[in-house]
Amino acid sequence: MSAGEFVSEVRGIAGRWIRKTLRRPPFLFFSLVQPIVWFVLFTAAFSKISDIPGFASSTGTTSYVTFFAGAVIIQTVLASAMQSGVGFVTDMESGFLDKLKVAPIHRSSILLGKLLSDGARILLQTAVILVLAFALGVGVATGLIGLFLLFGIALAFGIAWSGISTFIALTTRNSESTLMISLLTTFPLLFLSTAVMPKPLLSDRVQSIAVYNPITYIADGLHQLIIVPGLDWSVVGFAFLIIVAVGFVTLSATTVMFRRAVSA
Amino acid sequence: MTDNIIEVEDLVKVYDPDIRAVDKISFQLKRGEVFGFLGPNGAGKTTTIKVLTTLIRKTAGTAIVDGINVDEDPAAIRKIIGYAAQEVGIDDDLTGRENLRLQTVLYHTPKAEAEKRIAELLKAIDLEEAADRRAATYSGGMRKRLDLAMALIPQPKLLFLDEPTTGLDPQNRAAVWEYIQKLNEQGMTIFLTTQYMEEADRLADRLSIIDHGRIVAEGTPASLKASIGADVVSLSFKQNGQSNPRAAAKAALAGLGGIREIQEVDGGVAIYAQDAPALVPQIVLALNDAHLEIAELTLTHPTLDDVFMKFTGRKMRVEEVTPQRRTPWGARRRRAM
């Protein structure tokens, strides 16, 4: 089996998932509307937070909308990644996975194609968020490179986190449990991080948890790129490092479960 | 290269916890033939196919496909087989054409060749008009035909069809039968499973009857029917106080000449006799004398139904197919288990 074959298999499988998403207008619509809802709802409710003493000095901006843009990216990626495992469950139930398994393909292209398609969806959602952010007057302080890195973080973070729901999906083989368990294991992390609130404003207890929460570092990276002019590689680089570490764990675990699922 | 494309010996598949789905079966498939596995639900047909198509691992025994041991090089086997599962594995969100196109990618069909093959298959399964509609809109028969076409994309040497016509109406069934025969005439070796006697009779050059994970009989449809060697008179009785009408019937008929065998079966007895029509009046009289009231009497020349009954003592029950449910949102299908 040649490398060219591998590439075309992955492309074919990723293309199938992307096409499936496009064929479900309600799903596509809501996955794009969702970040808008987050944005409007949260900034409307919490805009006064920026008046709290210490907000501007710790974040570098006086606008909660600007601060919150990074959190919207994280929320959207989390929500998207949460569902990515469900596709495997439906494929197992419908018998489509068996069809892929009897085909003379690299089995890894089944997993890789799926993850790449999730990545493509996350890029599209990130683009929608950024367009909306621009419309609300939020700029990216680090310019074009910063913009590029924002997409990079969203993509890598999304794929790493997709590993969690895929792992749960392959373990439980049930879509309801997959959604439920991924929801409970990801969303609390968002509120125990610096994504929605600058660190000095978090309660002491939450602060001490946030230090161990990978989402804190991803949020710090995004905030840095959006708010602070001049690229600070120490923060952004650390965000990438955290993503790679998390991705290594989630994707290794997923690969093990996936091997088990396809070798039966 | 031997004449056999499949050689299975003492194959065992045990699912945990301790379900012997396939229990030491042996059989061979000759190149170029249509071979059938006939048996009721849960007999072990699908399990056998899943072992041979490399989807699951066997517990014991040997299974060799086209000279390749299934344990040693499953990837090589995948290159030469086509497989249409019992449950249709198509993507509802894609059109028929897109389903086939994805399959050409998975089987590395050269691009120029791929579109040609897709067009030919769409024509062959009479799905040209619906080709660009989402598969979710297809009827059960169209789905089954599309699934068959997907299995044919690789132009396999060996085709596995797991209950290819289960759930189809008679018209679709006849069309699928005709197509399978045509494929076989073009040189394709076909392994099919079925719970329809008529299907096995019509399509299979040779067949094995499988029940509870064991092969109970094998041969050509004609030889299996001939093994009964006689007409069959099937009888059932009215409940009229006889505590054991079957035993009473056996006793009453014991004295009659010309009967080869009397077998107790579900709901009555089966009488095997060389010249049954001449014997029917005597049977009726004898039963009347024994105060047994006949509920039903049928006289048949041997069919595969009788073969199944003879070897298992049971009638084959064909279970009804649960209709598929669809929802307008995303049209996700629930599989009928």
Residue B241 has a pLDDT of: 67
Of the candidates B169, B300, B276, which has an alpha carbon nearest to the alpha carbon of residue B225?
B300
The count of residues in chain B is 337
Residue B334: pLDDT band with limits 50, 70, 90: very low
Contact B54 A102 (CB under 8 A): yes
Contact status of B249 with chain A (Cβ, < 8 Å)? no
CA A55 to chain centre: 26
| Contacts of B72 by beta carbon, 8 Å cutoff, 6+ apart | none
The nearest CA of chain A is from the CA of B197 a distance in Å of 26
Yes or no: say if B102 and B94 are a contact pair by the CB < 8 Å rule.
yes
**pLDDT higher than 50, residue B332:** no
Give B54's contacts in chain A (Cβ within 8 Å): 101-102
Residue A27 has a pLDDT of: 80
Q: Average pLDDT for residues B27-52, to the nearest whole number?
A: 94
Q: Average pLDDT for residues A222-249, to the nearest whole number?
A: 93
Average pLDDT, chain B: 87
Question: With the CA atoms of A189, A195, A196 and A200 taken in that order, what torsion angle do they form, in degrees rounded to the nearest 10?
Answer: 100
- For A:57-96, CB contacts with B below 8 A are 90, 93-96
The count of residues in chain A is 264
Yes or no: say if B111 and B136 are a contact pair by the CB < 8 Å rule.
no
Contact status of B333 with chain A (Cβ, < 8 Å)? yes
Contact status of A104 with chain B (Cβ, < 8 Å)? yes
Of the candidates A119, A30, A35, which has an alpha carbon nearest to the alpha carbon of residue A81?
A119
Give A100's contacts in chain B (Cβ within 8 Å): 106
Nearest CA in chain B to A11: B105
Contact A264 B56 (CB under 8 A): yes
Residue B321: pLDDT band with limits 50, 70, 90: very low
The full set of domains in chain B, from first to last, is 4-224 (3.40.50.300), 230-301 (3.30.70.100)
Yes or no: say if B153 and B337 are a contact pair by the CB < 8 Å rule.
no
What SS3 state is found at A93?
helix
Contact B57 A90 (CB under 8 A): no
The nearest CA of chain A is from the CA of B91 a distance in Å of 7
Contact A100 B106 (CB under 8 A): yes
Q: What is the DSSP letter of A195?
A: S
Q: Average pLDDT for residues A219-224, to the nearest whole number?
A: 94
Contact A264 B57 (CB under 8 A): yes
Of the candidates B235, B259, B260, which has an alpha carbon nearest to the alpha carbon of residue B248?
B235
Q: Which of A1, A102, A176 to mutate to test the interface with B (most CBs of B within 10 A)?
A: A102
pLDDT in tens, A153-197: 999 999 999 999 999 999 999 888 888 888 887 788 888 999 888
Pairs across A and B, CB distance < 8 A: 82
Measure the CA–CA gap between B79 and B72, rounded to whole angstroms.
14
Give A11's contacts in chain B (Cβ within 8 Å): 105
Nearest CA in chain B to A8: B105
Measure the CA–CA gap between A123 and A147, rounded to whole angstroms.
12
pLDDT in tens, B304-316: 888 888 888 777 6
Nearest beta carbon to residue A9 from set B57, B106, B329: B106
Measure the CA–CA gap between B148 and B161, rounded to whole angstroms.
8
**pLDDT higher than 80, residue B242:** no
Residue B323 has a pLDDT of: 40
Residue B335 has a pLDDT of: 38
* ipTM, two decimals: 0.86
Which is higher by pLDDT, B308 or B105?
Answer: B105
Nearest beta carbon to residue B85 from set A19, A98, A103: A98
Beta bridge partners of B28: B7
**pLDDT higher than 80, residue B170:** yes
Which of these ranges, A34-48, A116-130, A243-257, has the smallest mean pLDDT?
A34-48
Nearest CA in chain B to A110: B106
* pTM of the model as a whole: 0.82
Judging by DSSP bridges, how do beta strands B34-38 and B60-65 pair with one another? unpaired
Residue B293 has a pLDDT of: 86
